[in-house]
Copies of this chain bind each other. A is one copy, B any other.
Amino acid sequence: MKLFRTLIPLEEAKNIVLTHARTLGIEELDFDAATGRVLAEDIVSDRDSPPFDRAAMDGYAVRAENTLNATPNNPVILRKSETAMVEEGEYLPVQTGMPVPNGSNAVLMLEYAKEDGSKLEVFKPVTPGKNVSFRGEDVKCGDVLLSEGRLLRAADIGLLASIGKSHVRVHRKAAIGIFSTGDELYDPKEHTSGKIADANSYILESLLRDIAKPVREGIIRDDYETLKTAIRSCTEHRDLILVSGGSSVGKRDFIADVVDDLGEMIFHGVAIRPGEPVGFGLIENTPIFCLPGYPVSLIAAFELLVRPFLYAMHGVKESPINEFFAVATKKIPSAVGRTDFVRVRLHSTDNGYFVEPLRVSGSGILTSVTKSDGFVIIEENSEGIEEGELIRVNLW
């Protein structure tokens, strides 16, 4: 297998990796530990919510028809009920969330009335049902509240709490082994100087921390047997391996050869820029991505291929929206036949966001990522983006 000789299109590469993405089983968690996790079951309500007709406002429970002719100058006078029931011509004070008393059908807001002892002056009519949340209005018993595949966020956790769902089944997190390779690398946590500090392991660890269980396995020197031993041992106790190249002679072929030796490289080289040297293989059943050594290329390959794979591997079917549209402030040229990953900065105006490409090339330029707000993907069959064009932007 030779690198750069067999570039495949991004869509083909994405389809291949997704074919090999399998979820890792299910675990049960306390509902409040499930933020950021992916549901492995449908959540069905076992109750109506609200459980009774309740006041949606602080105010006075009344019969709407009694307030029909109320005006500020000619208020309707109601008397306070002496029971729990509101009868003709009566009212009862209610607080938000309380059951609406039997006999009443609306809640009059505090500001539209004045209570004096056990008499109420009503200044404005209310319509039946006003300021009442009816039983089952939010959720009916049997409703699917959250679907399998949902990436859970704060309001979802609240919804689980509100129906008393104390445990939830979620997809298991992948344990992901992260290697950097290259004789020239040093670990900036362990040494204070060296040739090139390994940034890639830390970038990957940070990118993975919310969705998976990343494990930095360290830096491997450019030696075939060392690499082979490390990778083989790792396949035994990780669900996925990410190896990023260093930047010295021949190391990428080392990795591809090691994977071919222990298993099979499925592709190596994708028509994306940056990120072109990305490869994917399988060792026994453990998937392995060979990622570029340059940090920006690494991030591009991660966003274009690894992230979709990770989402599939974690069973994600519904995740928060993370892309939107904005207008290009300048032409962004691109070659037909490859997908470009362009870092962009956004400028907010009253007429929407405008997109400025930060740098189209320069895969070593990590500041092209840190200075950007997100990225734009220019598809393979596109010659680029014209000034003034409305384009999709992905946010970091």
Residues in chain A within 8 A of chain B (CB atoms): 3-4, 30-32, 35, 49-51, 54, 56, 58, 93, 95-98, 110-111, 133, 137-139, 145-146, 153-166, 184, 188-189, 192-193, 196-200, 202-203, 205-207, 209, 246-251, 277, 293-295, 299, 320-322, 324-326, 346, 351-353, 361-370, 373-374, 390, 395-396
Contact = CB atoms under 8 A, between A and B. Distances in A.
A246 to B, nearest CB: 7
A138 B35 contact: no
Nearest to A190: B166
B146 A161 contact: no
Given A193-B164, A197-B164, A202-B32, A362 B137 contact: yes
Contacts of A192: 164, 166
B246 A158 contact: no
Nearest to A391: B352
B346 A325 contact: no
6 contacts: A35-B209, A49-B366, A138-B365, A162-B366, A163-B197, A164-B192
Contacts of A164: 188, 192-193, 197
Contacts of A367: 138-139, 145, 159
A341 to B, nearest CB: 13
Copies in the complex: 2
Contacts of A362: 56, 133, 137-138
A145, A146, A162, A369: which has the most chain B beta carbons within 10 Å? A162
Contacts of A199: 158-159, 161-162
A35 B396 CA distance: 13
Contacts of A156: 370
Given A158-B295, A161-B197, A206-B157, A364 B56 contact: yes
Contacts of A145: 367, 370
Contact of A293 (B96, B166, B249): B96
Nearest to A369: B155
A283 to B, nearest CB: 25
A196 B161 CA distance: 10
A320 B395 contact: yes
Given A209-B35, A320-B396, A370-B146, A50 B198 contact: no
B293 A137 contact: no
A54 B325 contact: no
Nearest to A184: B97
B138 A203 contact: no
Given A320-B395, A365-B138, A395-B321, A161 B248 contact: no
B161 A294 contact: no
Given A97-B196, A98-B249, A133-B365, 4 more contacts: A49-B364, A95-B249, A158-B200, A162-B295
